[in-house]
Amino acid sequence: MAAEVVEYELAAPWEGFLATPAADPTDVGVMVLSGSSGRIERERCRLFARAGVTAASIRWFGGRGQPPGICEVALETFVAATELLRERGAKRVSILGVSKGAEAALLVSTLSDCADAVIALAPTSVVWANIGPGRDGREHPYRSCWTWQEQPLPFIPYDDSWTPTEPEDVPVSVLGSYERSLAAYADRLPAAAIPVEKATAELVLIAGGADRMWPSLRFAHQLADRHATTGRKAALISRADAGHRTVFPGEVAPPPSVRFDHGGTPEADAILGTAAWPTVLATVLGI
């Protein structure tokens, strides 16, 4: 029988959601960040709350007072958001991010000690250019997705010579765009690399080898290798036939996108999530 959950809609200055166990809550919390969908991850918060963890998810772009796209988003946003969990008694706080949310979570861990652990699903190992417009309403010229102390982080731009090969009425794989951009701007890779070796947080990496959005499994190995230079070992859980969307036990697989080819299959994505869930939960709980 699933544990009872108490839910809250977060009020200004946050737009978001918080779920906590109704009985015997632990003193641990997790901040759940979406990817470029921008959605507030209510169902995933409920999943953690049923497991005894206070979980929150916020809107971090596209909301009031925020950039309309993932363009020069202040990473301090996520540091401040973790205080929502500390204020509710969490002594241990993790950040779980998916895709662009993973990019943010990883970067925050290198710049702040606000998180005890980072769980990065379908991660990147480098900082990318903006997806969508900034506060000025413009998408070009390309700018960094992120700022820290009001300074933009070095990033990899997109190679605009790439075009999709799929017919117009078929979901598009953008994997080729990212691979071409990595090759075209190879000179920018060192500066744009996410320096996880600077982070003190524990690190869990989850990636599918059939990801059709970007090469997340390759990125995950690069992150693990950088982390290993400190003498620490990241947990890396992968599956060759899984795609961009990991589905944990108890979650419903999202419907296929009409716009993007995320790769993998619902079955493979769920198998990866089932394999990863014990490590994810143990890391969040600190056991």
Query: In the predicted model, what is the mean pLDDT of the chain?
Result: 96
Residue 1 has pLDDT above 60, yes or no: no
Give pLDDT, residue 26: 79
Q: Give the residue-averaged pLDDT of 186-199.
A: 98
Which of 285, 249, 251, 200 is closest to 29 using CA atoms?
A: 285
Residue 120 has pLDDT above 60, yes or no: yes
Residue with tokens 């007072």: 65
Amino acid identity of residue 72, one-letter, is E
Question: Which SS3 state, helix, strand or coil, does residue 135 take?
Answer: coil
Q: Give the residue-averaged pLDDT of 247-258.
A: 93
Q: Which residues contact residue 111 at a Cβ distance below 8 angstroms, ignoring those fewer than 6 apart? A: 75, 148
Give pLDDT, residue 2: 60
pLDDT band at 118 (very low <50, low <70, confident <90, very high): very high
The structural domain count of the chain equals 1
CATH number of 37's domain: 3.40.50.1820
Q: Which domain holds residue 104?
A: 5-285
- Confidence (pTM): 0.97
Which of 242, 247, 287, 244 is closest to 265 using CA atoms?
A: 242
Which of 206, 283, 219 is closest to 248 using CA atoms?
A: 206
Residue 181 has pLDDT above 80, yes or no: yes
Which of 220, 6, 13 is closest to 102 using CA atoms?
A: 220
pLDDT digits (tens, 9 = 90+) for 65-115: 999 999 999 999 999 999 999 999 999 999 999 999 999 999 999 999 999
